[in-house]
Amino acid sequence: MNKTRIISMLALLLLAGIAFAYYWNTQRASPEDRPAGLALFGNIDLRVANLAFETTGRISSMLVSEGARVEPGQLLAVLDDRQPALARDAARAQVEGQRAELAKLIAGPRKEEIEKLRADLEAAETEARNAARHAARSADLAKRELASPQEYDDARTAAEAAHARAGAARAALDLALAGSREEDIAAAKARLAALESQLALAEVQLGYTRLHVPSQGVIQSRILEPGDMAAPDRPVFSLALTEPVWARVYLSEPDLGRVKQGQPATVQTDSFPDKTYRGWVGYIAPSAEFTPKTVQTTELREDLVYQARVFVCNPEGELRLGMPVTVRVDLSAEPLAEPGCTEDAGG
């Protein structure tokens, strides 16, 4: 019985030695003897954006549901916009009124107004001349004691008043002919600029009641519904961006020096086994991930892995978040000069 156990233990040790020798010859081989291709396994990953309104309000309509493919600029949801619309209209009316006031200042008095001022001046001068003649006659009569001193004083006062009215009429005509003061025009322009800024702000605030798509993608979650109160810190939709799409894989420490950013790669899935998606190595993590978290011995360094992203072209939208994939990196190829999904990308 003891001999049987000894033989079994020796057989196990022999198998372990064969396995270790195979591992050593394959994994620890020199870089020259390693294969030119590297197969990696991972999952499709992409960015997810939480979309929210930039203002607070009650949602009046939701225009898309989960699974909808959306394009940049597409309208997703609308808030009750009655109050900001009224504020916009009031600001627009103030701008129009100030523009009219500025135009009036720049144009100056109308021709008809100038003519009226000329007529007023002529009437005032005629009245002043008549009052002056009456005062002169009153003075002559007063000297001959044919008029009382009071009548002379009244005539003289009337003449002086008429002369003053004529001077005021002439000043009004001169002021109208000179046009508006530059300071008044500058103040009106500044007021107009302030009102236009208020109108622009009202337009922006009205625009905040509309939620649009920032980038092409697929609606992943519809979080709020019509009637809910929306706020900048309350997402309404979560959007899975369809660009860029990458396969999240992990490189072992021995392979780290063989893979370079920009190297071409291919991606395959179980869902579409006959299709191969073109891609390239776009990112290699600068720090390692491993278990346990702290490496203290040489042996544990074999557990080091580095996250990498292999960006992949997904023109038909077949690759989805979390999908398992097989990635093959061409280690013999030089990194692409301008990686991308266009037909002429590469180099």
Please write down the HEC assignment for all residues of 70-87. ECCCCEEEEECCHHHHHH
Can you tell me which residue has the tokens 């346990």?
292
Domain layout of the chain by residue ranges = 50-81+207-230, 87-204
**What is the rounded distance in angstroms from the CA atom of residue 97 to the CA atom of residue 198?**
14
Nearest to 77 by CA among 52, 56, 55: 52
**Residues facing residue 43 across a β-bridge:** 248, 324
pLDDT (tens digit, 9 = 90+) per residue, 118-148? 777 677 777 777 777 776 777 766 676 666 7
What pLDDT score was predicted for residue 58? Answer: 97
pLDDT in tens, 46-96: 899 999 999 999 999 999 999 999 999 999 999 999 999 999 999 999 999
Residue 248 CA, chain-centre distance (Å), reads 30
Query: What string of pLDDT tens digits covers the 347 residues of the chain?
Result: 466 666 666 655 555 555 555 444 555 545 455 556 789 998 999 899 999 999 999 999 999 999 999 999 999 999 999 999 999 999 999 999 999 998 888 777 777 776 777 777 677 777 777 777 776 777 766 676 666 777 766 667 877 787 888 778 777 766 665 666 778 889 999 999 999 999 999 999 999 999 999 999 999 999 999 999 999 999 999 999 988 899 999 888 888 888 888 999 999 999 888 899 999 999 888 887 764 344 344 444 456 788 899 999 988 888 888 899 999 998 888 888 888 887 655 54
Measure the CA–CA gap between 225 and 138, rounded to whole angstroms: 94
Residue with tokens 């008549």, as numbered in its chain: 130
User: Which pLDDT belongs to residue 334?
Assistant: 86
pLDDT reported for residue 178: 60
Whether the Cβ atoms of residue 302 and residue 24 lie closer than 8 Å to each other: no
Residue 238 has what pLDDT? 96
Residue ranges of alpha helices (H) inside 179-212 are 182-207
DSSP, res 94: H
* CATH ID of 50-81+207-230, from 3.30.420.40, 2.60.40.10, 3.40.50.300, 2.40.50.100: 2.40.50.100
Quick one: pLDDT at residue 149? 72
CA-wise closest residue to 232 among 50, 61, 51, 55:
55
Among residues 328, 321, 311, the alpha carbon closest in space to that of 45 is found at 321
Task: Please enumerate in sequence order all residues whose Cβ is within 8 A of that of 104, keeping only pairs 6 or more positions apart, or say none.
Answer: none
Residue 176 phi, psi (nearest 5): -65, -40
- The structure's pTM equals 0.64
| CB 272 within 8 Å of CB 324 | no
Return the amino acid letter for 86.
L
Strand ranges (E), 147-259: 210-212, 217-222, 229-230, 237-252
User: Phi then psi for 52, rounded to 5 degrees?
Assistant: -140, 155
